[in-house]
Amino acid sequence: MEIKSLGYRTDLLLLELSGSVFEDRGEYVVVRTPDNPGFWWGNFLLYRTPFAPGDTKARTETFRQEFPDAEHVALGIDSVDAEIGAEDELIAAGFDVDRSVVMTASEVVAPRRPNEEATYRLLSSDDDWEQLVQQSLATATMTVDEDYVLFTRRKLAAKRALVEAGHGTWFGAFDGDRLQSSLGLMFDGKGLARFQNVQTSLEDRDRGLASTLVHRASTYGLTEGGARTLVMVADPEYLAIRIYRALGFDDTETQLGFALPPAS
């Protein structure tokens, strides 16, 4: 199964390692995560072409056929050129259009104002991972209800399993034993390392923690981790992308995703 997009290629690698399954239909790939059905981007269709007029309706119907019990709709395009096609139809149908920036680096530079106060180490204990769950919930942009809590716990349990199986590491910045900032770095074993979930607790922001943590994790990835290329996927509208650029990451591709949330 050939995937052109570096963003989706690394997404699918990590999903597969976590137990997701794929079915190549030719026109599109079905991505399923049976253990976490509420995970939109673990249960989606990845199309190989942009949206022609009428495709929004047709592809939504196909999604419903592939995922009859899903409350959401999630569609992607395996593209590197940011061509969507009939975007007006997607917007009219209520889809959220996500243009994420896929960034890469083969070397990094130190942050101009590193945070030297925190303790930087790998997450290791049950308490560390529970703090990561609580930090993820506290910094979520989604409505945090019972379903979202369950989704978050399942997703992070899968990430922890990958770490414990030797596929990556999870880094944290700590004040004593309190988690302040965190991120994951996963390896494909062929020279790529993909960042996961860079986040900082609300009360600890604007202190240089994230930039310092990304730099330290990057240095680890390019040395002990054996990676030749680091991959980061970022929101072009969020301020963190400036941090990654300042550390030496370059914009490489645009990753396209379209989500229709469950009806309220």
d(Cα 193, Cα 201) in Å, to the nearest integer?
24
Is 112 part of a structural domain of the chain? no
pLDDT in tens, 160-212: 999 999 999 999 999 999 999 999 999 999 999 999 999 999 999 999 999 99
Question: Do 233 and 129 share a structural domain?
Answer: yes
Question: Do 131 and 96 share a structural domain?
Answer: no
Six-digit token string for 3: 């995937």
The structure's pTM equals 0.92
Q: Give the domain CATH number at 233.
A: 3.40.630.30
Give the residue from 244, 234, 226, 157 showing the smallest Cα distance to 187.
Answer: 226
d(Cα 237, Cα 86) in Å, to the nearest integer?
22
Six-digit token string for 29: 């790939």
pLDDT in tens, 81-123: 889 999 999 999 999 999 999 999 999 999 999 999 999 999 9
Domain that holds residue 237: 119-247
How many folded domains does the chain comprise? Answer: 2
Is 113 part of a structural domain of the chain? no
Is 1 part of a structural domain of the chain? no
Question: Do 84 and 126 share a structural domain?
Answer: no
